[in-house]
Structure 1
Amino acid sequence: MKKIISLSIIALLLSTTFISCSKDVTTSSSTTTPTSTVVTQGTWKITYYNDSGADETTNYTGYTFAFTTGGSVSAILGSFVTNGTWTSYNDDSQNKLYLNFGSTVPLSKLKVDWHIIEKTSIKIRLEDVSGGGSGTDYLTLERL
């Protein structure tokens, strides 16, 4: 009987050890990884865009985004490609991402110096608080 109890305790301890050592890749933060490294790995899509309280995510349905290390970004919608630029930098102790697709609608609405509020290897959540008091915009990019 003591042998069964001892084996049960050992099995419980081992299973607890293995469970507690697992790592959830989707929630691990890549805040120490430079933004330039994260965005240039793979292709991205917009999974959420909120413009001062209005959900405008559907305006970006079908778009994919490819970032290059040279600061270029392509927005691809079917056979149409819109080229733009991007840069990441720190401003007022905030990590930021700036996108510029010129005047092409709806991509022109992304021309903001976005504050990075969350960054992992597969998701980047961004925020822009308007200086003129017109609201806060949110943008989420997820890697395909």
Structure 2
Amino acid sequence: MKKVFLIPALFCLMMLNVASMCSSDDNSSSTDPTPVINTASQGTWRVTSYVDSGNNETNDFTGYNFTFASGNVLTATNGTNTYTGSWSVTSDDSDDDNPSGDLDFNIAFGAPANFADLTDDWDIVTYSANTISLIDVSGGNGGTDTLVFTKN
């Protein structure tokens, strides 16, 4: 009789422990932009993939090195041409399924047109010391854009 009671009691105790782990309200690390900012601002980066609504446009950025500098200054240079824009990483409180915990990687270029195409508030898919993977799902036409920076 004791065994019959013990198994359900252990099961209930285990389920309560799992539920308390899943309901943690501390998600500050997933919405803190500081780690992403620190990663991006270390060294120079290159675009290793840019797909605009199914069209691979990576070659538009071949030979360019991107620097995410302090003061939100973003510079892209290939030794001949230099384009300046802005960047930031911000916490986004919108209720979407952003895998990075609602952080936006914001990029803005005014010109030329192919760099202006990068202007968006990208969702961070993943980031590491060597790779930053971004995605944007367009609200207008429903197209999906992906952008991957790899550290030089």
Task: Give the partner amino acid of 2:110.
Answer: G
The reply to whether residue 139 of structure 1 matches residue 119 of structure 2 is no
**Structure 2 equivalent of residue 98 of structure 1:** 106
CA deviation profile, 1:94-116 (whole Å, cap 9, x unmatched): 11111111132210000010000
Shift of 1:70: 1.3
2:48 match: secondary structure: strand
Tell me by how many angstroms 1:133 deviates.
Answer: 2.8
Q: TM-score by structure 1 length?
A: 0.75
Q: Quick one: distance in 2 between partners of 1:104 and 1:84? A: 11
Identical counterparts, % of pairs: 36
Give the 3 Å change call, closer, same or farther, for CA 127–82 of structure 1 in structure 2: same
Asked if the contact 1:36/1:69 (under 8 Å) is kept, the reply is: no
Residue pair 1:85, 1:100 contacting (<8 A) in 2 also: yes
The aligned counterpart of 1:84 is 85
Deviation at 1:141, TM superposition (A): 0.2
Aligned ranges 1:1-40 → 2 under 5 Å: 34-40=35-41
Quote the offset at 1:80 in angstroms.
Answer: 1.3
Corresponding pairs, count = 115
Q: Give the gaps of 5 or more residues in structure 1.
A: 1-30
Q: TM-score if structure 2 supplies the norm length?
A: 0.71
Q: Does 1:125 align with 2:126?
A: no
| Aligned-residue CA RMSD (Å) | 1.7
